[in-house]
Amino acid sequence: MKADIGAVIVTYQRYNELKLTIEALLSEGIGLKDIFIIDNNQGESKDQKFYTQFLGVNTIHPNENIASSGGFALGMQYVHKVGYGWALLFNDDSRPLKGALNAFYDAINTLKNKPLGLVKIANLNSNGEAIVLHWKGVRKPSYHSISNVPIESDLVTFDGCFIHKDVFDQIGYCDPSYFMGTYEFDYCLKAKDKGFKIYTLPNGLIADEKLGSQGGTPPWRQYYNTRNHLHLGIARRDLSIILAWLIREAKFTYAIFRFQDQKKRRLYLKLLAFLHALKGIRGKVII
């Protein structure tokens, strides 16, 4: 059985990478009409000429840069309203490799009696092992040999992730007020709360350039990582998350003092993030 899939790509000013991702989806059998691009490059600067080579693709231009959390939330909404059975999510710098969708079809056939919620194509580490994520108040990876046997988990990232329509029916879409970071973990935990199963396919059939991670973590991204992780713990009233946040922040603060540049800026934004989490301030604050 082949599932009906609507693909979502969130992009911002990386049209060379976006082209590769669209072409990879087409090669895997996803049609142009089944691809929804959330282009955060808003206003007059958006590249209309680029899309003429992909006539039929669905392009959505928000009125402002809503970042990854807002982009995925909007893409989920479009795919859900059209009525697809599954949404397949990608950033513009990640894409499926040959055989990825066939592996997914095989997996859901073997898991057909499970309450499937999310199925993720595993990324590989530098040793060629599949990365499977677990939740211990913070994400914790385990590493596995490459195979097509699904591994049950409780946490995934959205690049290369399939989400079943029943999840949208019951918990809606990811929370755009996270803006950047943590929204995937919040969504997975909500899905688990509703009894959905989460699996990772440890085959590594995903190309991920990780362009957003190159050159280290900028200060503004540290703000969102700090604020959103603490918010998650407060919102869920989970002391294990708050304790994990304290340990993580102590380590990162030490790293700022010892190794990182822009020390005053980074420390200021971490303090600001802490105060904003306590006050419940959400959404886009800095960038």
pLDDT number for residue 203: 97
Q: Which two tokens stand for residue 284?
A: 């886009």
Sequential DSSP letters for 184-250: HHHHHHHHHHTT-EEEEETT--EEE--GGGTT---HHHHHHHHHHHHHHHHHHT-HHHHHHHHHHHH
Q: What is the Cα–Cα distance from 40 to 54, expressed in whole angstroms?
A: 18
- Which of 42-46, 67-71, 158-162, 263-267 has the weakest average pLDDT? 42-46
* For residue 149, pLDDT beyond 80: yes
* For residue 144, pLDDT beyond 80: yes
Q: What is the Cα–Cα distance from 76 to 168, expressed in whole angstroms?
A: 8
Question: Percent of the chain having pLDDT more than 90?
Answer: 89
In 3-state terms the chain splits into helix, strand, coil percentages (rounded to 5) of 45, 20, 35
Q: What is the Cα–Cα distance from 25 to 271, expressed in whole angstroms?
A: 42
- Which of 69-83, 95-109, 200-214 has the weakest average pLDDT? 200-214
**Structure confidence by residue, pLDDT tens digits, 191-242:** 999 999 999 999 999 999 877 656 578 999 999 999 999 999 999 999 999 9
Banded model confidence at residue 122, pLDDT cuts 50, 70, 90 = very high
* For residue 17, pLDDT beyond 70: yes
Residues 34-56: what's their mean pLDDT?
83
* For residue 44, pLDDT beyond 80: no
pTM attached to this predicted model = 0.94
Burial 88-105 (b: 16+ CB within 10 A, else e): bbbbbbbbbbeebbebbe
Residues 129-146: what's their mean pLDDT?
97
* For residue 45, pLDDT beyond 60: no
**Structure confidence by residue, pLDDT tens digits, 166-198:** 999 999 999 999 999 999 999 999 999 999 999
5-212 in CATH: which number?
3.90.550.60
pLDDT number for residue 213: 58
Give the chain's mean pLDDT.
Answer: 94
Q: What is the Cα–Cα distance from 244 to 235, expressed in whole angstroms?
A: 15
Sequential DSSP letters for 151-185: EEESB--STTEEEEHHHHHHH-S--GGG-SSSHHH
